[in-house]
Amino acid sequence: MASKFWSNQADSETESDVSDHEEDYENEGQDDANVPDPNKYRIGDSDSDDSEVKRVVKPLKDKRFEELSMTIEQMKNAMKINDWVSLQESFDKINRQLEKVMRVTESDRAPNSYIKALVMLEDFLNQAMGNKEAKRKMSSSNAKAMNAMRQKLKKNNKMYEDLISKCRENPESFKDQEEADEDDVDDGFSSVSTEPSIEDTLSDVDVIDVNQLVWTTMMNKKDKLIEKQFKDPSQVTWDTVNKKYKEVRAARGRKGTGKLEPVEQLTFLTKVAKTPAQKLQILFTLVSAQFDVNPGLNGHMPINVWKKCVQNMLVILDILEQYPNILVDDTVEPDENETEKGTDYNETIRIRGNLSAFLEMIDAEFFKSLQCIDPHTRDYVERLQDEPLFFVLAQNVQSYLERVGDHKAAAKAALKLVELVYYKPQEVYGAMRNMADQSDDNIEESRTESKAFVNTPEVVPRKPSFPTSSRELMDMLVSFIYAHGDERTKARAMLCDIYHRAVSDEFSTARDLLLMSHLQDSVQHMDISTQTLFNRSMAQLGLCAFRAGLISEGHGCLSELYSGGRVKELLAQGVSQSRYHEKTPEQELLEKRRQLPYHMHINLELLESVHLICAMLLEVPNMAANIHDARRKVISKTLRRLLEINNRQTFTGPPENVRDHIMAATRALSKGDFQTSFNVINSLDVWKLLKNRESVLEMLKNKIKEEALRTYLFTYSSSFESLKLEQLSKMFDLSESQTHCVVSKMMINEELHASWDQPTRCIVFREAEHSRLQALAFQLTEKLLVLAESNERATEARFGGGGGGLESLSSRRREGQDYASVAGGSKWQDNMSYSQGRQQSGYGGGRSYGPGQSYQNRADQSRGGYQSTRYGGLEARGGQMDGSNRMVSLNRATRV
């Protein structure tokens, strides 16, 4: 088997080189993958007898290697039968052997075969973990061994992290090495290799770092050939280049072609290209070849390749700018020899390619790299600094597409820019702008394109142009997108705009944008990333409302987000473990791919505390008002639930997390103790994240005082006959006019059965309690109403809108209400009362049990998530906000 195997690749043209490398042979054990020339290993297969001589030279070392390979073989066997127990043993063994090998070879680098084994093990483990079915069937000892193995492997692999990743990136190099190792040890072991194809060319592991200048030094055989072919620039013709180009293109993606190989070759070809069109064509292929370097869906493109890719794109744009007669098109198959036409050719030349798709890919890779890099490292920061680079590319692509008249694609490019900027407040934006100005020099250095046949001067600007304020930039881009973009682009741009306005404290404009766009209705049907964006915008809008002191609006925006307890997923900022619902690995993977990079995150603690504070400010007085039947009107279920849990505790320790703090504050507030309540909230350390912290806290303090006052009045009004304004205002540290305003509001809304006695400046309370019988009677009538309504709804559902049934019924319902209210009205209501609230509760005698009120609520709820607000809430605009707070649930999408 082995001989057949080796003979397969004996056709390579390398035989002649064999002898040159024989002397290298001895120290190859210590050699690492950096050895550029693979041919030295060739000796082993071309003449296996030679190796026996070599084996004598270093018997100890070889023995160790042999042992190692043996163990690997054992492991492979164990894998085949899924025997984790023996696998574990082998693993221990191999680690022991490794030490010996290392000692013998005096190298600090683990042998490739070992690394390969680790990779293999890891893959197998992942596969096994993923396969739930098989896992369940496993015997307990086996499962135990597997778990132990997992931990060990995890620990162990940490040490060889970089090597493993290198191996994954570029398995060929390791394979070669490994094969060489093995075949050096014993020919028999070559059969160990599971993959039959071994490419004679060795791509260099470190080629990623290779600059174009040093390219020649790293050249492998094939490239040398090319080099030879093109040694004399004068002899190079369009034909030769074209031929070579086609060759490379055909080889690409074929089994056995390294991923980096075509990149290098094409890079070289760009330099020898004869016409701009040809260069362009090659560049297009080069860029897509560079995308291929990406090791997999979950990994990201190596950063250096990414950067080169961006530079190539810029060169493409340069050419396009310089030769406006060249058209890029991906719909028509251009003529074979289209690229032959030189610079003096004035007609249009068509080249196949799609700039906006490339831009999208580059953006996706950038995004992915940020997802993968640990955000707490320097790497992340450095990676972030590439933002301007992408920015300039997107700007150039956009302006090019605009010039060509492809507005739709230009809008997409503009969206990329918007998505880069929208989450940045002005300060961060300014920092990015400064950085872009400074980093100019670096870019200059990194671009050293020289000695090319077709020189492309830099026509396109290499430096992003930022307006001074992010708002300006956003306005410019967004209006362009609104004018030209397609549905999705427009929706996303709109959401970004809303987000950005919310970040810069323009609540009312942001809200109007949201309401006018009616996005809340259509977002359910959009893709997940747009839904996430919508959720993010809502979260930011909530924070913005809170900062502006609009508590109920803030609560309206945030409550839906928190209702499911899956905030992290909704915002794509991490995954929360669920005890009841286990995810399949595919789901997990999908979710992972959706995550946002760390720098885009909305601080979850801040979000939670704002949400809970809003809920507290609304719920505490509400609970005090409806103390007797707590289930009637719940504003925030989340807070109620937390409070319940909290109350069940026997001992309450000092607050630790956000929830504890708010719970402590809530308890204090419900006692009317505004000072403690505020102090507890003030001690949260999320406030330092706010820009205008002082004013927000001041606002918060005021709100807490007011709500404390309301709570106090609700709770204790029955114990007083009259209360002095002065006393109240002193008690809650509010000005008299403020107190007056709050109390008056409560009176007008019939929350408080009292009125002012103006000469003495007192509140006089009225007794408005109903007797037991009366209360029951009210309950009965209310139930009757519910019954009647459900009957109506049943007929509506049954007959649909047949004969305007729905219309007439609902209008009747409204009429009935009006009628009742007029009939029950007093003199004031006939002609002077302005208040609808009063009319509604005219027959209920008060909000707390006014059936009209609850009736209204129910009717509204049936329409959608209606947030009942005390005053002028978000719903005011003709019911547009109805259901607007509906958060998008990712759940549905993932389960489908």
Which residues sit at the interface with other proteins, rule CB under 8 A? 508, 512, 516, 737, 740-741, 744-745, 747-748, 755-759, 764, 766, 768, 770, 774, 777-778, 781-782, 784-785, 788, 791-792, 795, 799, 802-803, 805, 808-809, 812-813, 816-820, 823-824, 826-828, 831-837, 842-845, 851, 871-872, 876-878
Closest CA to 420 of 444, 447, 445, 384: 384
For other proteins, which is the closer residue by CB, 431 or 483? 483
Contacts of 230 (CB under 8 A, 6+ apart): 236, 240, 241, 268, 272
DSSP 25: G
Alpha-carbon distance 588 to 585, whole Å? 5
Report, in Å, the least distance between residue 530 CB and other proteins: 23
For other proteins, which is the closer residue by CB, 737 or 861? 737
Report, in Å, the least distance between residue 785 CB and other proteins: 7
For other proteins, which is the closer residue by CB, 385 or 755? 755
Question: CB of 341 within 8 A of CB of 349?
Answer: yes
For other proteins, which is the closer residue by CB, 60 or 748? 748
For other proteins, which is the closer residue by CB, 233 or 872? 872
DSSP 330: S
Report, in Å, the least distance between residue 767 CB and other proteins: 10
Report, in Å, the least distance between residue 560 CB and other proteins: 21
Which contiguous run of DSSP H or E holds residue 724?
strand 722-724
Report, in Å, the least distance between residue 832 CB and other proteins: 6
- For 257: left if phi > 0, alpha if psi spans -120 to 50, otherwise beta; the answer is beta
Q: Indicate the residue type of 415.
A: L
For other proteins, which is the closer residue by CB, 59 or 878? 878
DSSP 15: G
Q: b/e map of 276-302 (b: 16 or more CB within 10 Å)?
A: bbbbbbbbbbbbbbbbbbbbeeeebbb
Alpha-carbon distance 272 to 839, whole Å? 86
Strand-pair category, 762-765 with 754-757: antiparallel
Alpha-carbon distance 664 to 329, whole Å? 64
Alpha-carbon distance 397 to 317, whole Å? 7
Report, in Å, the least distance between residue 147 CB and other proteins: 59
For other proteins, which is the closer residue by CB, 357 or 516? 516
For other proteins, which is the closer residue by CB, 458 or 792? 792
Alpha-carbon distance 538 to 516, whole Å? 15
Report, in Å, the least distance between residue 865 CB and other proteins: 19
For other proteins, which is the closer residue by CB, 430 or 805? 805
For other proteins, which is the closer residue by CB, 330 or 818? 818
Q: Tell me how far CA of residue 787 lies from CA of 375, 631, 792, in angstroms.
A: 58, 19, 9
Strand-pair category, 349-352 with 326-329: parallel
For other proteins, which is the closer residue by CB, 357 or 780? 780
Alpha-carbon distance 389 to 308, whole Å? 11
Report, in Å, the least distance between residue 475 CB and other proteins: 17
Report, in Å, the least distance between residue 846 CB and other proteins: 9
Report, in Å, the least distance between residue 809 CB and other proteins: 7
For other proteins, which is the closer residue by CB, 224 or 877? 877
**In the block, which residue shows the tokens 């007056």?**
740
Question: 73-77: long-range contacts at Cβ-Cβ below 8 A with a sequence spacing of 24 or more?
Answer: 73/189, 73/192, 75/117, 75/120, 75/121, 76/120, 76/192, 76/194
For other proteins, which is the closer residue by CB, 515 or 528? 515
DSSP 887: P
Report, in Å, the least distance between residue 764 CB and other proteins: 5
Report, in Å, the least distance between residue 241 CB and other proteins: 52
Burial of 402 (0-12, 13-18, 19+ CB in 10 A): middle
Alpha-carbon distance 18 to 854, whole Å? 92
Report, in Å, the least distance between residue 824 CB and other proteins: 4
Contacts of 779 (CB under 8 A, 6+ apart): none
For other proteins, which is the closer residue by CB, 528 or 785? 785
Report, in Å, the least distance between residue 544 CB and other proteins: 13
Contacts of 572 (CB under 8 A, 6+ apart): 529, 532, 594, 595, 596
